[in-house]
Amino acid sequence: MNIHLANAKSPVETEGKAHLGFVDCDIHPMFKSPTELQEFLPKRWREHAATVGRRSRGPFAATSSYPRISPGNGMRGNAWPSNGGPPGSDLELMRSQLLDLFEVRHGIMLPLGGGASDERNVDFGAALATAMNDWQATVWSDRESRLLGSVQISLENQNAAIGEIEKRAGDRRFAQVMIPPRSIEPLGRRRYLPILEACAANGFPIALHLGGVGGHPPTGTGWPSYYHEEHPSYVQTNEALTTSLVIEGVFERVPKLKAVLVEGGFAWLPALKWRLDKHFTRMRDEVPHLRRLPSEYIHDHIWVTTQPIEEPKRREDLLDILEWIGWDRVMFSTDYPHWDQDDPRYAFRTHIPDAQKRMIMRDNALAFYGLD
Amino acid sequence: MPAPLPGAIDCDLHIAVPQTRTLVPFLDEYWADHVRIRGVESQSYQMSSLPPRAPLSVRPDWQASDGALPGSHFGDLKSKVLDQFKLKFAVCNCIHGTQIMLSEDMSLAFCKATNDWLAKEWLDRDPRLRASIVVPAESPELAAEEIERVAIDRRFVQILMLAMGERPLGRRSYWPIYRAAEFHKLPIGIHAGSNYRHPPSSIGWPSYYLEDYVAQAQAFAAQLLSLVTEGVFVKFPELKIVMMESGVTWLPGTIWRADKTWRAVRFEVPWLHQAPGEVIRDHVRFTIQPFDAPSRREQLERLLEQLGSEDILLFSTDYPHWHFDGDDAVPDGLPDALVRKMLFDNPLMTYPRLSHTARDSLE
Amino acid sequence: MAKYVVALASQIPPGQCKIVSAAGREIGVYNIDNAFYALVNRCPHEGAAVCRGDIVGRPDSDMPGTYRLIQRGEMVRCPWHGWLFEIKTGQSWCDSATRARSIPVVVETGEALTRGLFQAETVPVTVEDRYIVLEF
């Protein structure tokens, strides 16, 4: 009776290795402190940041309209680094909780909170975008080559945005261009076309990750009261984005453009395809620039990530959805370190055949991003 | 549907107000004078969210014979729908821009006129016709007064609201409408359409009507989440909602996501003791045109399993809107038992006033 | 079925949780008003270390706009997805079909332990103290 307390065992039961070696299509690196980004700004904008500060189209200067369910604007409770700073700000913890734990092959970073895209002063926005990109490259990718960045742009500053895209083209540290889905106008409208053309011309897919403060309510019927509604409202935004890109004819004009919709789940996509096809057949005279069914553009140009994965009561229903979307169009993502992140071991609560699982966990993303 | 089944109940078809001046004789003296002086009577108040002559809005063979607004002739409605489909009842929705005017009082005056016009010019002409009460939805107190006034006429079987308004429909400011609705056993019928106080989506104003139309389904999803989240069915447990021209196939995915969010976030809305999917199956019904069905039969079968209820679908033609041709008002591939429930039983369960009338007429 | 002596009762004051190890499992032992309960430290939802979560109450309401906090100190909130579990039973408040695994707990005197057949693999026992014993 002389054995000592020891808590060395893993908290979760041992699983197989099928989940290892995936590509994580949604990781959020964070700033160690609110001022970390300012070190990457030129003096003129450092002063601006310290005085006027960032100004978006939302009501609160430094947080979102809907309080999240956990501290740090919705962080996973056990991802706070012991050395201070918020979840996602410490590479070593990210390695132990994600990159090394699951032998992640590549991790695609989608930094949030830099404010570049929503900044109403578009010159400041462009400076923030450049700073964010330098920060991703030097603080993250240079130290951990598995982590690839997403080029930040100021969507309303076209010249600067195109300049930034061209500047990062060919830099293997960047996988894609990140565009906020909630913009001033729907993304398919012509004002954004030159930026989308620049993305395609420079070999970047676009990532549409939930968020963005376009100034419009999150629904077509105004502002909901609760996070309980706002959290699923990003599904509706993804539907609107898909509709816009397809129906406005973006993929006719920019045939090489590929888009991935991140952090909106995916079970909504088949029904949207059916609805678009059905009403397109009635209204095709209004959109003569479309030469194919909406669902065909979607299949050729739009990918989705898994998180937050839908959890149907009958778990096997998920298989139907994946089949209807196409196994080659779905890519796994964790959303580390947010509260609603998915764990690769348990996210799919139904059995997925190995061949298909490999596609979702790894091969689709390798092909989409042109990675090894 | 091979042939219309006699005795079906059509839960969404449309009556058009031919011209604004049609309603003037039904306005009270003050408002009749007022709208004449301002020339309001000669303006068109067709809603831009439902352009009446767009292909989706009018089936080619359901055009009015003399070039009038589709849905504005009783004779057409009688021959092309009531008789053609051998309907037992048809619930008429009259959507007109005067219902979304910014002046609350002018809007109320027109809503009163519209309800009285519906009773006199339509309901009185055919015993099969039923109607939704039109209200100035953004003025809930006035809307409730109008419901009280009209509910006495039992041929009005529900209350009409639009899928996109100023605020999500669960917000407490709308509750006077639901209080009146529950008291009078009138479901709230939410129909596609917008008063455009906001863009039709969170990403702004699209270019094409097709995009707006597709976006209606997203607004319906938002309304579902709002009604459930705000606890409307906790406060008004007898209330029923009918989503009309909403599309149907988006529902399973929406429920899965809502249920998932609820499990984690329900502490924010602790009155919500049931998962959203259960609340929706208990309280919300959907008309079947458009259904937005998948292209393959086995997909439809799987989808019906995912819907998980035979009680939530209501037959509709959505006359004169164009979703199907000929008599194919029921999507191919639905099992017979479901079709029967959809055509007969579910509408009677949803609209208590239909049963009362049926019983009254038997007596 | 075996019994495991995992901690001194005095190591877990009321309102607190201690994570212990028995038979290769992590287990959270809770003291609620001087009664002890134990849950396997693995969330049945997505496998997180649920017992590392905050000990909280349960929000309740009969009507929109009214709020009260009940079962104070009787729920654990999973640090990942925020699901609430009743510490005494493991029952999830967020999914009626889900339960965290609850382990029976008894408190024994050291004197009793020295007489019985226990796998006290983790704690040295002395006669005069009280011990947390898990049985599973």
Nearest CA in chain C to A340: C81
Question: For residues A185 and B203, what is the distance between their CA atoms, to the nearest angstrom?
Answer: 6
- Given a cut of 70, is residue C120 above it in pLDDT? no
> DSSP class of residue C38?
E
Q: Please, which chains are in contact with C (at least 3 CB pairs closer than 8 A)? A: A, B
Say whether domain B8-17+44-362 belongs to CATH 2.60.120.620: no
- Cβ contact A89:A348 at 8 Å: no
Question: For residues A121 and A156, what is the distance between their CA atoms, to the nearest angstrom?
Answer: 9
Condensed to tens digits (0 to 9), the pLDDT of residues C69-91 reads: 999 999 999 998 999 999 999 99
Average pLDDT over residues B273-288: 97
Burial A169-192 (b: 16+ CB within 10 A, else e): beeebbbbbbbbbbbbbbbbbeeb
Find chain A residues with C-beta within 8 A of C52's C-beta: 77-78
Average pLDDT over residues B287-297: 95
> Contact C59/B270, CB-based, under 8 Å?
yes
Question: For residues A249 and A294, what is the distance between their CA atoms, to the nearest angstrom?
Answer: 10
Task: Say what angle helices A269-283 and A317-325 make with each other, to 10 degrees.
Answer: 50
> Contact B271/C62, CB-based, under 8 Å?
yes
Contacts of B268 (CB under 8 A, 6+ apart): A69, A226, A227, A228
> Contact B231/C60, CB-based, under 8 Å?
no
Single-letter amino acid, residue C115? R
The confidence score (pLDDT) of residue C128 equals 81
- Given a cut of 80, is residue C53 above it in pLDDT? yes
> Contact C82/B270, CB-based, under 8 Å?
no
Q: How many CB pairs under 8 A join B and C?
A: 39
Structural domain spans, chain A: 23-369
- Cβ contact A363:A330 at 8 Å: no
> Contact C94/B271, CB-based, under 8 Å?
no
- Please tell me if residue C79 touches chain A, with a CB cutoff of 8 Å: yes
Contacts of B295 (CB under 8 A, 6+ apart): A274, A277
Contacts of B124 (CB under 8 A, 6+ apart): none
Average pLDDT over residues C92-109: 93
Q: How confident is the model at residue B360 (pLDDT cuts 50, 70, 90)?
A: low
Question: For residues B15 and B109, what is the distance between their CA atoms, to the nearest angstrom?
Answer: 19
Nearest CA in chain C to A342: C46
- Given a cut of 70, is residue A225 above it in pLDDT? yes
Find chain B residues with C-beta within 8 A of A208's C-beta: none
Which residues in A have their CB inside 8 Å of a CB on C?
1-9, 11-13, 69-70, 76-78, 339-343, 345-347
Q: What percent of chain C has pLDDT over 90?
A: 74
Give the distance from residue C62's alpha carbon to the nearest chain B alpha carbon, in angstroms.
Answer: 6
Q: Is residue B152 exposed (0-12), middle (13-18) or buried (19+ Cβ within 10 Å)?
A: exposed
Question: For residues C3 and C135, what is the distance between their CA atoms, to the nearest angstrom?
Answer: 4
- Please tell me if residue C64 touches chain B, with a CB cutoff of 8 Å: yes
- Please tell me if residue C29 touches chain B, with a CB cutoff of 8 Å: no
For chain B, positions 276-315, list CB contacts with chain A under 8 A. Answer: 277, 290, 292-295, 299, 302, 305-306, 308
> DSSP class of residue A60?
S
- Given a cut of 80, is residue A5 above it in pLDDT? no
Find chain A residues with C-beta within 8 A of C19's C-beta: 7
**E strand spans, A11-161:** 23-27, 106-109, 147-152
Nearest beta carbon to residue C80 from set A2, A8, A341: A341
Q: Find the largest Cα–Cα distance for chain C.
A: 57
Give the distance from residue C25's alpha carbon to the nearest chain A alpha carbon, in angstroms.
Answer: 7
> DSSP class of residue B357?
H
Give the distance from residue B253's alpha carbon to the nearest chain C alpha carbon, in angstroms.
Answer: 18
Nearest CA in chain B to C67: B270
- Most B CBs within 10 A among C94, C98, C99, hence the mutation to make, goes to C94
Question: For residues B289 and B246, what is the distance between their CA atoms, to the nearest angstrom?
Answer: 8
Condensed to tens digits (0 to 9), the pLDDT of residues A137-158 reads: 999 999 999 999 999 999 999 9
Question: For residues C102 and C51, what is the distance between their CA atoms, to the nearest angstrom?
Answer: 12
Q: How confident is the model at residue B2 (pLDDT cuts 50, 70, 90)?
A: low
Q: Is residue B75 exposed (0-12), middle (13-18) or buried (19+ Cβ within 10 Å)?
A: exposed
Fold of C3-135: Rieske Iron-sulfur Protein (2.102.10)
Q: What is the DSSP string of C80-96?
A: TT--EEETTT-BBSS-T
Q: What is the pTM of this model?
A: 0.95
Find chain A residues with C-beta within 8 A of B226's C-beta: 219, 221, 224-225, 229
Find chain A residues with C-beta within 8 A of C22's C-beta: none
Cα R_g (chain C), whole angstroms:
16
- Cβ contact A188:A247 at 8 Å: yes
Average pLDDT over residues A92-111: 97
Other beta carbons less than 10 A from residue B67's beta carbon: 7
Token output for C131: 């011990």
Give the distance from residue A65's alpha carbon to the nearest chain C alpha carbon, in angstroms.
Answer: 20
Using DSSP, how many helices (H) and how many strands (E) does chain A show? 13, 8
Cα R_g (chain A), whole angstroms:
21
Sign of the dihedral through C-alpha A156, A160, A162, A166: negative
> Contact C122/A340, CB-based, under 8 Å?
no
> Contact C21/A343, CB-based, under 8 Å?
no
Phi then psi for residue A221, to 5 deg, are -125, 25
- Given a cut of 70, is residue C121 above it in pLDDT? no
Residue C44: is the preceding peptide bond cis (ω within 30°)?
no
Average pLDDT over residues B132-140: 98
User: Closest by alpha carbon to A12, among A343, A339, A354, A362?
Assistant: A343
Condensed to tens digits (0 to 9), the pLDDT of residues A69-88 reads: 999 999 999 999 998 999 99
- Most C CBs within 10 A among A5, A10, A342, hence the mutation to make, goes to A5
The confidence score (pLDDT) of residue A213 equals 84
Q: Which of residues A251 and A14 earns the better pLDDT score?
A: A251
> Contact A271/B207, CB-based, under 8 Å?
no
Nearest CA in chain A to B277: A313
Calculate the alpha carbon distances from B277 to A147, A224, B224, B265, B281 in Å. Answer: 39, 19, 10, 15, 6
- Please tell me if residue C81 touches chain B, with a CB cutoff of 8 Å: yes
- Most A CBs within 10 A among C81, C123, C125, C134, hence the mutation to make, goes to C81
Tell me the CATH architecture of domain A23-369. Alpha-Beta Barrel (3.20)
- Please tell me if residue B331 touches chain A, with a CB cutoff of 8 Å: no
Single-letter amino acid, residue A204? F
